[in-house]
Structure 1
Amino acid sequence: MTTPCIICVAITGSLPRKADNPAVPVTITEQVESTHAAFEAGATIAHCHVRNEDETPSSDPDKFAALKEGLEKHCPGIIVQLSTGGRSGAGQARGGMLPLRPDMASLSVGSNNFPTRVYENPPDLVDWLAAEMVTHGVKPEIEAFDLSHILKAHEMWKKGQITDLPYVQFVMGVKNAMPADREVFEYYIKTVNRLFGEGAPWCAAGIGPNQIVLNDWAVSSGGHARTGLEDNVRQDKSTLAPSNAALVRRVVDLCAKYERPVATAAQARQILGLRAAA
């Protein structure tokens, strides 16, 4: 348990609105300020979406550029991870921000059910997004909503479509997708170690009330943890989370409980094989 724990903060997402929790940051300024507080609390990856003025999701590269610039200025060394998720756009518009060369970008390599629709990631789009990430030197974070997504990531890695050792994130607790099941979680870890090598880094994210559950499982199992208002707007069943930073501090407390150091930005970059901050 000596490996430092990387904390990723998913600051905004595409769905939560201020009506759900006034702390959800929507404008670029709000997102930078919220991330800065989370960074100071211990987060070293910022998972980023952008919104329009009416709070609807956007894939506008100019908005991503402004957010990336603000984060790099106010959170020195933070790992900027931009979302290519399907709620923000359609087709190749989902990867329109990749020429900005963020440190990382999310990559969903397969389709699955979401609460009210199918989350579509057709093979030709997955291949195109992966190729764009290679072209622009962006490390993908594999969003694994299903076991098959881990196996697909391995196939793409062996074929050279993913050039670095994949960083897989287990996403559990999405309605109609994979629930937060401890035995499945343990098998995910076993599968990552078998396919990518013992000790390959991985992360876990839980949705809604499962966030703190997956935080605990990840920290106590030697993995890395994602938190933030994108996935969960509550501190507990009866209390809204006051900020992204407050959710990050819960993970920091778990790291103390399990006697794991919290990764600095430099340590996180080293663990993930990323280039040094500019």
Structure 2
Amino acid sequence: MSISDKVIITCAVTGSIHTPSMSPHLPVTAEEIVESAVGAADAGAAILHLHARDPATGRPDQSPSAFAPILGALAERTDAVLNLTTGGAPTMSVAERIEPVVAFQPELASMNMGSMNFGLYPMLDRYNQFQHDWEADYLENSRANIFRNSLADIEHAMKACGAGGTRFEFECYDIGHLYTLAHFVARGLVSPPFFVQSVFGLLGGIGNHGEDINHMRRTADRLFGEDYQWSVLGAGRHQMRVAAAGLTLGGNIRVGLEDNLWAGKGRLCVSNREQVETARKLVESLGLSVASPEEARAILGLKGRAKNRFSKEKETV
């Protein structure tokens, strides 16, 4: 099977959407994040999308010092592509959110393509007991807060994060975000291949209906033609249904506990590995093949593991 027929599985290991009280399986400490990420990579995830958290409270932490032990350990234990978030959490400033990427110059970083409402507060209807004081307020405040990603913010983040050769996972939560990406492409701020991650089912963004998924694909095809790789993620219980729809349209897929805590009705997912294993079975059941990390690097035009500021590997001449 040629490299063009390979499917890239991304695993988003912990994120900033869910709070620790929602699942005992959500990795919080650096050690838990590393172990969960390694398990996902062993199961077939070519890309690990990474956030960090305060080990005592589980609160999202975007400081380089929080990422350092995670990146150092993963650089030694897996060859998966390490993808650092610049989304952080909606409560953080853009300057705070891009710090780890500027510091560590990874192969890949997320790049949010527009400001939006990012409603987490409906989760309060399902959870009313919390281990930590910050959790309920964090969810409730999403009712009034806006996840800021202005055009000026995006331009600054692209220039600051791309200076070290980092490429981007362009997170597009709605159709307008694709047009924003096209604007920056036309200005020459980013070059192909573009890795477009379409996000379905978060309150404030596009829904997860089949027509929404088709609309995203058609629009991206029209704007970017052969110059992009498309991936899909479905928020919550629709995760695998969205993945299946994306695969039938020729896309790559993202899974992980950042996006969904559940393995089925009333059953919590016990690990990121479990979700990747399910995703891999889905890929292979369709007669497709899972991309290795090196194949993902070739498909996405990444600079390689040796050219970052955390890997212990030495660049060869």
Shared fold per TM-score greater than 0.5:
yes
Q: How does 1:247-262 map onto structure 2 within 5 Å?
A: 247-262=275-290
Aligned to 1:102: 106
Letter in 2 for 1:35: A
Residue 50 of structure 1 aligns to a residue whose secondary structure is coil
Which digits, 9 at most, give the CA deviation of each residue in 1:84-119, with x for residues without a partner? 115162131111112211111111121112112322
Which digits, 9 at most, give the CA deviation of each residue in 1:47-78, with x for residues without a partner? 111111211111101222221121111112x1
Residue 51 of structure 1 aligns to a residue whose secondary structure is coil
Aligned to 2:66: 63
Identity %: 31
In the alignment, is residue 149 of structure 1 matched against residue 177 of structure 2?
yes
RMSD of equivalent CA atoms = 1.6
Contact kept? 2:46, 2:292, Cα under 8 Å? yes
Whole-Å separation in 2 of the counterparts to 1:83 and 1:251? 22
Runs of 4+ in 1 over 3 A off after TM superposition: none
Whole-Å separation in 2 of the counterparts to 1:237 and 1:173? 17
Whole-Å separation in 2 of the counterparts to 1:255 and 1:91? 35
Contact kept? 1:134, 1:163, Cα under 8 Å? no
Letter in 2 for 1:126: I
Shift of 1:199: 6.9
Aligned to 1:238: 266
Whole-Å separation in 2 of the counterparts to 1:264 and 1:28? 25
Q: Return the match for 1:90 from 90, 93, 103.
A: 93
Gaps of 5+ in 1: none
Letter in 1 for 2:110: S
Contact kept? 2:40, 2:272, Cα under 8 Å? yes
In the alignment, is residue 183 of structure 1 matched against residue 185 of structure 2?
no
Whole-Å separation in 2 of the counterparts to 1:134 and 1:159? 15
Q: How does 1:107-186 map onto structure 2 within 5 Å?
A: 107-115=111-119, 116=143, 117-186=145-214
Which digits, 9 at most, give the CA deviation of each residue in 1:4-29, with x for residues without a partner? 11000000011323321111111111
Aligned to 1:31: 33
Which digits, 9 at most, give the CA deviation of each residue in 1:104-150, with x for residues without a partner? 11111211121123221122211110111221211111110110101
Whole-Å separation in 1 of the counterparts to 2:164 and 2:87? 18
Shift of 1:221: 1.8
Gaps of 5+ in 2: 120-142, 307-317
Residue 218 of structure 1 aligns to a residue whose secondary structure is helix
Contact kept? 2:269, 2:275, Cα under 8 Å? yes
Letter in 1 for 2:257: L
Letter in 2 for 1:132: A
Contact kept? 2:112, 2:154, Cα under 8 Å? yes
Aligned to 1:75: 78
Whole-Å separation in 2 of the counterparts to 1:162 and 1:200? 12
Aligned to 2:46: 44
Whole-Å separation in 2 of the counterparts to 1:244 and 1:135? 31
Aligned to 1:16: 18
Whole-Å separation in 2 of the counterparts to 1:163 and 1:190? 20
Whole-Å separation in 1 of the counterparts to 2:207 and 2:217? 16
Which digits, 9 at most, give the CA deviation of each residue in 1:234-276, with x for residues without a partner? 1011100010000011110111111100101111111111123
Whole-Å separation in 2 of the counterparts to 1:176 and 1:128? 24
